[in-house]
Structure 1
Amino acid sequence: MTSRRTSSLLMPIAMFGVATFFYLYEFLVRVSPNVLENELILAFNLDAKMFGFFSSCWYWAYAPLQLPVGALTDKYGPRRLLTFAILLCSASTLSLAYTTSFYLGCLMRFFIGAGSAFAFISCMKIVHIWFDHHLFPLMTGLTLTIGTLGAAAGGIPLSLALDFMNWRQVLIYLGFAGMVLAFLAFALIKDHNPNHAEVSMKKEDTPGFWRCLIEVMKQPQSWLVGIYCFFVTAPTDAFGGTWGVKFLVDTHGISRDVASTAAVTMTFIGMAVGSPILGWISSVFDNRKVPMMISSLIAALALTLIVFLPQLNGFWACVLFFLFGSSGTYVLAFVMTRRFSQPIYVGTAVGFVNMVSMFGSAILTYMIGWLLDAVSSGALSSEGERIYTVSNYHLSLVVLPLFYAISALVIVPLIRDQKD
């Protein structure tokens, strides 16, 4: 009996493992510009606005694709779609490693975002098909934990790898690792669960894209939770994924290795720790709004201290970035998304919320670069890089805590923590 139960769990765990490993992989590639910033700026001769645009190309592909990806996953299942997505992501990473054109680099970054668009939704769909419904909050938190470990790996390991190889070689290794993962996805993932027939992927029983989309968009809660994620996700991606390392190096003279540890590794380790804890708390107390509000205010405070504290050293930078990351509560937003969605629309609903949130990341990532160039004097260093002062960063980064304050004080009170 026990061996049969263990055997029945092995396949769902294997499928979940492959999907979440791709989520980890795309998270690593997503935040890599934060660590590779100096190399990319010199390779493509970029200013802050151009670098912000390059980094944001990932989000401009990822965000709008969340709608069709969610609906397609609801209709056809994750197996073939996820395999194609991993191949697209890894092939584009390889192509980026070889290009010398800024515009081709942006295009490859765009394609990486397009492939990455399938990762989180596929994880949620596999959990929905193959695991009991009461495990959904825990598995959502676990998914985000595993994914953010990929972002954390974008800190110290990538920074250390650059001591032994150039940035192009780093991307080549990442590209080939993705090819192996695509093979595992095609071999292991299944779309049909005979013991959970009501959510298995049977084409004749599933609605089309437009019906899925219309049903989700008719829900006011879809919009409110999406707008909440817009304000919560954007600072994490913009600061932890793009601008944090440069800020610490330029304003506090912290070495790149230590800055990468703080801004990238500690931010996403904080998310990895905080996500399952918040998911667990929400399940135990059957309440999501209070943790969402409190955590957003904590993140706003942490970001205020990071941006405006003078003489921030490496230790306190790590502490504050960890606090900032662990307060990223969008895991609870996805739990709420499942609560107000019918089972056959879960993929589309998650995709819609994710789409709105990633538009926030795209806009804020580019906005910070634009603000930096707008307030700077235009002076250049001896290496040809634009020089940005502490006051330039203060004026540009004040939007980070403001985003969290808006989410906590304006958006959360409007959300209903119940099924519509």
Structure 2
Amino acid sequence: MIIWVTAVVVYLAAVFHRTSLGVASLEAGARFHLGPAALGTFTVLQVGVYAVMQVPTGLLVDRYGARRVLTVAALLMGLGQLLFAFATSYPLGLLARAVLGVGDAMTFVSVLRLVAAHFPARRYAVVAAFTAALGSVGNLVSTVPLSLLLHSAGWTPTFAIAGAATAAYSVVLMLRVRDNPIGVVPEPVDHSESLSTVLVGVRHAWRTPGTRLGFWVHFSTMSAPSMLGLLWGFPYLVQAQGLGEQAAGLLLSLLVVGAIVGGPAVGTVISRRPEWRTPMVVGYVVIALSVWVVLLGWPGGHVPLGLLVAAFAFLSMGGPASTIGFALARDYNPMRRVGTATGVVNVGGFVAITVSALVVGMLLDVAAPLGTATAFRIAFLSVVAVLVLGLWRTSVWWRRARAAVFDAASRGEEVPVRIRRRSWDLTPA
């Protein structure tokens, strides 16, 4: 338990650093003299680096252990945030966010690998979801408290303190975290493996239908709430909906509160009824699409506050739903490949976030002459497109994963989840 708590703290710090630009976007625009598209590049770069690093991180964790990877992650995040605190030019700011993105990318996969090693399989879904929920506290700290600190202490002290504290925490990680429980002998790892052998493991993880389903589950559920929380939610609420900065920060905090409350709830449900996992995801995405249709189609563009609250509260459940992807990776891959498979799944959501954040910024620039409210309505159509794509591919790989389970059961193999054959399973996927 102490090992898990120690690891969760650095994940909390990672989420804080990742989302800190959400309420500092207006200050960043003024500090670096940026328009919407250039400002969006900060998030696109950081999240893009995160996505690219997921599979390498999984391989590093499987080969060298979560403790070493987490320690390096804390050092990199601290360095990146310190650099961002003192950066005054756009290129230096981009470099800082890239370094921060690399460190951030190495945290969650490492923490989940520790969960897989220190907790029984039947508790994995609950602990993983609770881990994600606790990490969301970092997002909560990066909304109203960070906004207040920025206005009182200023840009450089705020980010410098955060960076220094994170770098110092690497010492705690090195001393307190163990890769495996005491008395458990880990599977031997051949550190002399060639690159081709390593890539074979990645291909095996990718070709596993459960991993591929997890990828699209993460892609479909995580993108919209993260895109709002990371960058575009605050400008949308202030500039397009006319809310004050404090009110906008409070509304954005709903994304975090929903994740904190919903994480343990989703984890408990799917651990007891694992056959409900993908249906819950499909249901969430369908309703999320309906929410966006209402927000973007509201007459006049100014959505009533009560409806905004309800919409953000529901969209916040995307984070908890995304943890279902990691449960799928854990169930359908051997332990020696869990880190790699988890990294593959994690790529899904961050690819979606990267695309959404980039396209939103570009469309805001193009549609600016039409007015702020109209520009945001046009720009957020990219979010709808991502959800539609995710829903389609999730449905395809849901059927393929079910077919793989039925085939394994017919061969007499043990399957992680017992499911009943439906009429639509008879049609080839």
| TM-score, normalised by the number of residues in structure 1 | 0.88
Which deviates further from its counterpart, 91-100 or 354-363? 354-363
In structure 1, give the amino acid aligned to 2:222. T
Question: 1-side partners of 2:338 and 2:262: how far apart?
Answer: 24
- Does residue 406 of structure 2 align to residue 414 of structure 1? no
- 1:152 corresponds to which residue? 140
Show CA shifts across 1:117-140 (max 9, x none).
111111111111111111100011
Question: 2-side partners of 1:405 and 1:335: how far apart?
Answer: 23
- Does residue 399 of structure 2 align to residue 399 of structure 1? no
Query: Is the contact made by 1:79 and 1:185 (CA closer than 8 Å) also made in structure 2?
Result: yes
Question: 2-side partners of 1:155 and 1:314: how far apart?
Answer: 19
In structure 2, give the amino acid aligned to 1:156. V
SS at match of 2:153: coil
Question: 1-side partners of 2:379 and 2:46: how far apart?
Answer: 21
Shift in CA distance, 342/168, structure 1 to aligned 2, threshold 3 Å: same
Show CA shifts across 1:295-320 (max 9, x none).
12222233333444444354543332
Question: 2-side partners of 1:154 and 1:313: how far apart?
Answer: 25
Query: Is the contact made by 2:216 and 2:394 (CA closer than 8 Å) also made in structure 1?
Result: yes
Show CA shifts across 1:144-192 (max 9, x none).
1011121122111111212311122211111122023211101101123
- Does residue 328 of structure 2 align to residue 340 of structure 1? no
SS at match of 1:162: helix
Given candidates 201, 209, 220, the residue that maps to 1:212 is: 201
Question: 2-side partners of 1:106 and 1:308: how far apart?
Answer: 35
Question: 2-side partners of 1:74 and 1:345: how far apart?
Answer: 7
Query: Is the contact made by 1:230 and 1:357 (CA closer than 8 Å) also made in structure 2?
Result: yes
| TM-score, normalised by the number of residues in structure 2 | 0.87
Query: Is the contact made by 1:65 and 1:114 (CA closer than 8 Å) also made in structure 2?
Result: yes
- 1:381 corresponds to which residue? none
- 2:42 corresponds to which residue? 54
- 2:279 corresponds to which residue? 290
The alpha-carbon deviation at position 235 of structure 1 amounts to: 1.8
User: Which runs of 5 or more residues in structure 1 are unaligned?
Assistant: 1-12, 378-386
- How many residues of Structure 1 are paired with residues of Structure 2 in the alignment? 396
The alpha-carbon deviation at position 81 of structure 1 amounts to: 1.5
Given candidates 303, 311, 323, the residue that maps to 1:320 is: 311
User: Which runs of 5 or more residues in structure 2 are unaligned?
Assistant: 409-429
Query: Is the contact made by 2:219 and 2:351 (CA closer than 8 Å) also made in structure 1?
Result: yes
- 2:346 corresponds to which residue? 354
Question: 2-side partners of 1:154 and 1:93: how far apart?
Answer: 13
Query: Is the contact made by 1:298 and 1:327 (CA closer than 8 Å) also made in structure 2?
Result: no
Question: 2-side partners of 1:203 and 1:81: how far apart?
Answer: 16
The alpha-carbon deviation at position 101 of structure 1 amounts to: 1.1
- 2:423 corresponds to which residue? none
Which deviates further from its counterpart, 266-275 or 105-114? 266-275
- 1:70 corresponds to which residue? 58
The alpha-carbon deviation at position 205 of structure 1 amounts to: 9.4
Question: 2-side partners of 1:308 and 1:294: how far apart?
Answer: 21
Question: 1-side partners of 2:296 and 2:12: how far apart?
Answer: 28
Query: Is the contact made by 1:90 and 1:176 (CA closer than 8 Å) also made in structure 2?
Result: yes
Question: 1-side partners of 2:305 and 2:169: how far apart?
Answer: 35
**Cα-Cα RMSD:** 2.1
Task: Indicate the percent of aligned positions where both proteins have the same amino acid.
Answer: 22
